[in-house]
Amino acid sequence: MTPTASAVPFLELRGITKSYGSVTACDAVDLRVDAGEIHGLLGENGAGKSSLMKVLLGLVRRDAGSVLVRGEEVALDSPQEAAELGIGMVHQHFSLINGLTVWENVALGDTGKVNKHAICAGIAEVSARYGLPIDPEARVDALSAGERQRVEVVKCLRRDPQILILDEPTSVLTQAESEELFAVLGRVVQEEGRAVILISHKLAEIAQATDRVTVLRKGRVAFRAVTSETTPQLLAQQMVGREVSLGEEGAALGLLPVQKARTGGSGAQDGQQPVCASPASASSNVASGFSKESI
């Protein structure tokens, strides 16, 4: 993937600041995402990733800064506004209701009269286009974790987002399911020109799947680069703010080898071992009642 940066980015965040009491979750964060790009977002728990995405989804109001979509500044005062602007997200933790069928879960959030036939037709269209087969009549509680993830992706793509955010999307997937997901993302950006923000702690995955990467540390942008010009080792160091070995120290920090996200290369340079940074940091300070996962 080699998208050409346009004069006007698809999405631009300028100086986003968000605090919860005395805790500053995001401190003047800048982020640019171009059309046809998969942009990796990295950071330990508490680095500010979740708060930044909540701002982008209209779930919380920023204290300072601006958001621009296709060069136009937007308010993002509500999730509805975010959806209308074409921003969609597949969350790490499933939002599906077990007692309902696939089509009923997909319909959640729709406005107006529920039309089962139209919803099932929409599911079938998205499933066929992206190779994500799913039975609309299946009960969600009878599905595997990978199938539930597929429902979440279909639910999001059915709303035709132009900016797709995925939070730890492969955390419950098998290797084959992960490859299936990345094939879908490849189509989304290469054939359809959408923008993707990929949040993952699997550094080899980030190295292989993304075009550019931004690292957050303690609420600030610590590092940004073209992905092909960096390594998982360097990204791990930028996440924790110091050099990290792949021996005992790396194990203590949760830096462990991961399988390749796709066939055809590990994303690391010759002689380097792919590493991933676990969401659980070696240091786990929690301030003012906010868990690191929520920031």
Domains of the chain, residue spans? 11-86+162-175+186-294, 90-160
| 28 Cβ contact partners less than 8 Å away, ≥ 6 residues apart | 15, 16, 17, 64, 65, 220
Check residue 109 and give its pLDDT: 81
Q: Quick one: which of 7, 119, 9 has its CA closest to 69?
A: 9
Q: Return the CATH class of domain 11-86+162-175+186-294.
A: alpha beta
Continuous segment of H or E residues that includes residue 205: helix 203-209
Encode pLDDT of 248-270 as tens digits. Answer: 555 444 455 443 333 333 333 33
Q: Are 73 and 230 in contact (CB under 8 A)?
A: no
Bridge partners of residue 66, in order along the sequence: 14
Q: Are 54 and 60 in contact (CB under 8 A)?
A: yes
Check residue 247 and give its pLDDT: 61
- Distance CA(282)–CA(295), nearest Å, equals 17
Percent of the chain scored above 90 by pLDDT? Answer: 67
Encode pLDDT of 93-152 as tens digits. Answer: 888 999 999 999 999 988 788 999 999 999 999 999 999 999 999 999 999 999 999 999
